[in-house]
Structure 1
């Protein structure tokens, strides 16, 4: 997180952000009640039809306008519009 950020939406915020660390939890739910039937501890335990999470580990929210996006989006905007 040592990169400069620039909000892709408001295009003025370079200083105030909320960094959201994502921690996925793999579960199998009962279709009728929504109760957790199985809680998978690691990806090796997943059944054949359960894909492991492969999304981004970090999201960023602009604390000025509220837009949420992948961290690379904020970094790329800052690189294209340097101070």
Structure 2
């Protein structure tokens, strides 16, 4: 957390948030059963498998439940109105 947060949805919460750590797991599933057929590491992905490049954290407002990227809450926290 590099600055003050404010929820862009409820616009009042500045203190209660949940930080959600995203830990992606690259897998190949069986199309009929949904079972994991293969797990990939960052160094050995399948040529047709794009690795996750999203944010490491997502933030949830603990007042209204909105879940967004951290930068959304930080940008709204800059404004003081």
Shorter-normalised TM-score: what interval? over 0.9
- Residues 3-46 of structure 1: CA deviation (Å, up to 9, x unaligned): 11000000000000000010000000011110000011x22211
**Normalised TM-score (structure 1):** 0.92
**Normalised TM-score (structure 2):** 0.94
Whole-angstrom distance in 2 between the partners of 1:59 and 1:8: 14
Whole-angstrom distance in 1 between the partners of 2:23 and 2:3: 22
Match of 1:67?
66
Bigger helix fraction: 1
How many residues align? The count is 81
Whole-angstrom distance in 1 between the partners of 2:10 and 2:60: 12
- Residues 49-71 of structure 1: CA deviation (Å, up to 9, x unaligned): 00000111100000011111000
